[in-house]
Amino acid sequence: MAVNSTPARPERPAAPAARSPRRPRGEGQWALGHREPLNPNERIKKDDDPLNVRARIENIYAHRGFASIDPQDLRGRFRWWGLYTQRKAGIDGGRTAVLEPHELEDEFFMLRVRVDGGQLSLAQLRVIADISREFARDTADITDRQNIQYHWIRVEDMPEIWRRLEAVGLQTTEACGDCPRIVLGSPVAGVAKDELVDPTPAIDEIVRRYVGDPAYSNLPRKFKSSISWLVDTPYEANDIAFLGVDHPDHGPGFDVWVGGGLSTNPMLAKRLGVWVPLAEVPDVWAGVVGIFRDYGYRRLRNRARLKFLVADWGVEKFREVLEKEYLGRALLDGPAPQLPSRPVDHIGVHEQADGRRYVGAAPVVGRVSGAQLAELADVVEAHGSDRVRLTPYQKLLVLDVPAERTDSLVTALRGIGLEARPSAWRRGTMACTGIEFCKLAIVETKARGEELVARLEERLREFDTDISIHLNGCPNACARTQVADIGLKGQLVVGPDGRQVEGFQVHLGGGLGMAQGQSAGFGRKLRGLKTTAEELPEYVERLARGYLAGRADGETFANWVIRVDEEELR
C-alpha cells in the first residue's frame, strides 16, 4: 500500500470570539459624567475648594509658621491666593526634574498681585512699593501678565499684606491656580485717541462677578483672558480674547477669539466670528469659562487647557455649544478686527484723547524694586499725574501728563532707571523669573537678560528696527518664547569643555498678528541650534549684524529669518 509522504497540516485553532469594541476612555469632562478625580490636582480640588485655604492661612499657618502647612495646601491650594513656594537657593538646573517638590522649595513664597487691565492709582502704587520694601526684600517684578510679583514672602506676613492691598482695592485672589487669572487689558484704555469703546467696565464687571466665585474656582487648568479695543495685548496667546471692531450695522463692539496658549504644545487662538457689544462681554466670557469648566479635559494634566478642546471641536461646534447651552441665544456674526500699520507697545511720549500725554517707559526685563516704585510714585505725583499702567510686555506707562511736563518726566524717569527712549534691545527684551526663584526653571534668565541688553547696547546701540528677544528658564514659555523674533528656551547644553552648562534652545522669527502684513506663527527651530548662556550675547550680536547686512529694503527680522539659509542663522 502506497504511503502518502506529505505530512498532515495541523488544524488551525478556532478563531477567538469577536471582542466588543472598546469604549473610548473618558477625558474627565464633567458634562459627560466623568466626575471622578483623575489626577492628584483634581483630588486636591475635590477635597476642598482652594478658595477656603485663606482662612487656614490667616487663622493657623500665619501663627504656627511654615512647618505647620498641610502639603496639599502648600503645593496646591495656596496658588488660588497668588502664592507659590520659591526655589531654594543653590540648587542647579540639572536637579530641577530630579528632586521632589519639598527638596526644591524654600520656606518663602512668590506672591502675585492682580492688576487687572494693568491699572494702578498712585495710592495703589505706593502700597505695592511699601509691601516690597517691608515684606519682600525690595523685590517687585512687572510680569508679562500685568501682575506685580514679589519674592521672599513669609506666610506669617500674609494677613497684613492682604489687609494693605485690599484697603486700596488690590487683591491676590486667583492670581494663580486652576481658575480665571488676571484679565489683560490695554494700558491706554480710556485715554487712547483711536479707542472707540473703553472696555474697562467689562473687565471690572468680570472681576466683580466671577473672581473668587466658587462656581468658577475649579477649572481643569488656568484660564487666561484679554479684553482690549486696541491690538496691544498678545490676544492670540490667551484662552479668550476680545478685540475691538466696528460693525457696519451695529457699531462698536468686540470680536472674540478662543483657544490660545503656548507652553510645550503651543496653539494660537481662533476667531469665533461673532460680534459682542460691551454690555454682553461679561456674559460671553462666563459662557466660555463655563464650557471649559464642564467640557475641559481633566484626566491628563498636560491636556487640560482650553486650546485642546477648541482644537478637537473646531470653532463651529464651540460656538454652537456656547450659544445653545450657555447663552441661550445666537450671537451676531461680526467682522475681523483692523490691525494697525505697525505693532504698538506705547513706549515713548504719546498724545491722549483729551490732549494730555502718556509716557511709556522700560525697565530692563521687567525687574524693578520697591524703592524704585516708591521713587516712581514721587515722580508721577510731581508731574501732576495720579495714574500708572502696567503693560503685557513688562513695561509701564504714566498717564495724564501735561504736554509741557513730558520732557521733565522723561528725564526724571531716566534718573530712577526707567527709560522712555530706550534702545531696541531694552524695549524688546523680556525674561521670566528663571532659576533664581522658580522651581521649574533650569537656567537663569533675569540676570542673563540684563547682561544681554547691556552688551547689545554697547555694541549695537544704533540698531534701527524693532526686535523682540524673550528668555525663558524652562519649556513652559511664560515669557512667550515661541512668538518672539528671538525666543530663548532655557536648557542644559554641552559647553566647550564637554560639560553641561546653562544654555538656550533658539527659536527664530516667531510672532503674533499685531499689525498689517504680519502673520502669526511660531519661531523656526533649527536642528541643533543652541547656545550656551555665556555665548548668548555674542550669538545675538552676530545674528543681528547678519540681518543688518543682508536684509532687503523694509524687510523685518522675522521675514529675513524665514528667507535666508540656515547657515546664516547659526
The pLDDT tens digits for 205-218 are: 999 999 999 999 99
- Give 558's Cβ-side CA count (13 Å radius): 21
Q: How confident is the model at residue 236 (pLDDT cuts 50, 70, 90)?
A: very high
Are the C-beta atoms of residues 488 and 530 closer than 8 Å to each other? no
508/362 Cα distance (integer angstroms) = 23
**4, pLDDT greater than 70:** no
CA-based nearest residue to 233, from 357, 125, 343, 363:
343
**Which three cell numbers mark 532?**
550656551
DSSP, collapsed to helix, strand or coil, labels residue 478 as coil
Q: What is the pLDDT of residue 26?
A: 86
pLDDT, tens digit, for every residue of 128-142?
Answer: 999 999 999 999 999
In whole numbers, what is the pLDDT of the chain averaged over residues?
95
% of the chain at pLDDT higher than 70: 96
Burial class (CB in 10 A: 0-12, 13-18, 19+), 378: middle
Q: How confident is the model at residue 484 (pLDDT cuts 50, 70, 90)?
A: very high
Are the C-beta atoms of residues 199 and 189 closer than 8 Å to each other? yes
Are the C-beta atoms of residues 307 and 259 closer than 8 Å to each other? yes
Q: Which residues contact 553 (CB under 8 A, 6 or more apart)?
A: none
- Residue 509 neighbours by CB distance under 10 Å: 22
Q: What is the pLDDT of residue 20?
A: 53
Measured N-to-C along each axis, helices 406-415 and 370-382 cross at an angle, to the nearest 10 degrees, of: 160
- Residue 215 neighbours by CB distance under 10 Å: 10
Is the model more confident about 556 or about 11?
556
Q: Which helix (H) or strand (E) holds 135?
A: helix 122-135
Q: How confident is the model at residue 401 (pLDDT cuts 50, 70, 90)?
A: very high
**566, pLDDT greater than 90:** yes
118/115 Cα distance (integer angstroms) = 5
**219, pLDDT greater than 90:** yes
**Which three cell numbers mark 78?**
495656596
Are the C-beta atoms of residues 470 and 431 closer than 8 Å to each other? yes
Amino acid occupying residue 217: S
Q: What is the pLDDT of residue 12?
A: 40
Give me the DSSP letters along 189-220.
TTT-TT-SS--HHHHHHHHHHHTT-GGGS--S
- Residue 10 neighbours by CB distance under 10 Å: 6
**Mean pLDDT of the 69-87 span:** 98
**161, pLDDT greater than 70:** yes
Burial class (CB in 10 A: 0-12, 13-18, 19+), 328: exposed
- Give 444's Cβ-side CA count (13 Å radius): 18
107/67 Cα distance (integer angstroms) = 8
476/489 Cα distance (integer angstroms) = 9
DSSP, collapsed to helix, strand or coil, labels residue 80 as helix
135/161 Cα distance (integer angstroms) = 8
Q: Which residues contact 270 (CB under 8 A, 6 or more apart)?
A: 257, 258, 259, 310, 315
**Which three cell numbers mark 392?**
503685557
Q: What is the pLDDT of residue 38?
A: 81
Give me the DSSP letters along 152-184.
EE-GGGHHHHHHHHHHTT-B-TTSSSSSEEEEE
pLDDT, tens digit, for every residue of 6-61?
Answer: 334 344 444 455 555 555 678 999 999 998 878 999 999 999 999 999 999 999 99
Comparing 146-160, 445-459, 497-511, 516-530, the range with the smallest average pLDDT is 516-530
* Phi/psi at 515 (5° precision): -160, 165
Are the C-beta atoms of residues 87 and 62 closer than 8 Å to each other? no
Q: Which residues contact 285 (CB under 8 A, 6 or more apart)?
A: 202, 206, 210, 225, 227, 240, 242
539/530 Cα distance (integer angstroms) = 10
Are the C-beta atoms of residues 502 and 444 closer than 8 Å to each other? yes
Are the C-beta atoms of residues 379 and 413 closer than 8 Å to each other? yes
Compute CA 390 distance to the chain's CA centroid, rounded to the nearest angstrom: 14
Q: Which helix (H) or strand (E) holds 265?
A: none
DSSP, collapsed to helix, strand or coil, labels residue 567 as helix
**335, pLDDT greater than 60:** yes
Are the C-beta atoms of residues 548 and 463 closer than 8 Å to each other? yes
Residues making up the chain, counted from first to last: 570
- Residue 514 neighbours by CB distance under 10 Å: 20
- Residue 325 neighbours by CB distance under 10 Å: 14
**Mean pLDDT of the 306-334 span:** 98
pLDDT, tens digit, for every residue of 437-482?
Answer: 999 999 999 999 999 999 999 999 989 899 999 999 999 999 999 9
**Which three cell numbers mark 90?**
543653590
